[in-house]
């Protein structure tokens, strides 16, 4: 086994341990942070004209936002959950369009929206 493979496996175990030990509140924070990171990476790929990588990263972001939608509890969350569901649906639509037309401003828009939601979520005590 090469040293790089060993390091990657070690990092993966570290991430898995963090997920296993995380509270539901922390898991949502981690999803949001992962989404923001993928969006920044997609923006970079777009600027470097790396279309395949951009598409892959946008796809990962869409999956993350889909996970956030699935985590919504409409019974407990009421109107807030309904509004977040609509916002997440909008984000996904914008990401699909950004991928189609190679528009970095749409990626920035979604990043700003997700950052705003994360700021509110981070303010909630776990």
pLDDT in the model for residue 16: 57
91-115 pLDDT tens trace: 999 999 999 999 999 999 999 999 9
Q: Sorting pLDDT into bands at 50, 70 and 90, what band is 6? A: very low
Q: What percent of the chain lies above the pLDDT cut of 70?
A: 83
**Contact, 126 vs 25, CB < 8 A?**
yes
pLDDT in the model for residue 125: 72
User: In Å, what is the CA distance from 54 to each residue of 13, 45, 49, 62, 107?
Assistant: 26, 5, 8, 12, 11
Distance CA 15, CA 31 (A): 12
Domains of the chain: 24-123 (1.20.120.340)
**What mean pLDDT do residues 34-39 have?**
97
**What mean pLDDT do residues 5-25 have?**
60
């Amino acid at each position: 086994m090469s040293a790089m493979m060993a390091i990657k496996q070690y990092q993966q175990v570290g991430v898995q341990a963090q997920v296993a030990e995380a509270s539901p509140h922390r898991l949502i924070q981690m999803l949001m942070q992962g989404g923001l990171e993928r969006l920044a990476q997609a923006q970079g790929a777009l600027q470097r004209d790396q279309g395949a990588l951009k598409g892959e990263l946008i796809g990962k972001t869409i999956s993350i936002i889909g996970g956030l939608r699935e985590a919504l509890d409409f019974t407990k969350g009421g109107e807030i959950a309904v509004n977040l569901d609509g916002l997440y649906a909008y984000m996904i639509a914008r990401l699909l369009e950004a991928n189609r037309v190679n528009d970095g401003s749409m990626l920035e828009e979604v990043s700003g929206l997700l950052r705003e939601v994360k700021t509110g979520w981070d303010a909630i005590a776990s």
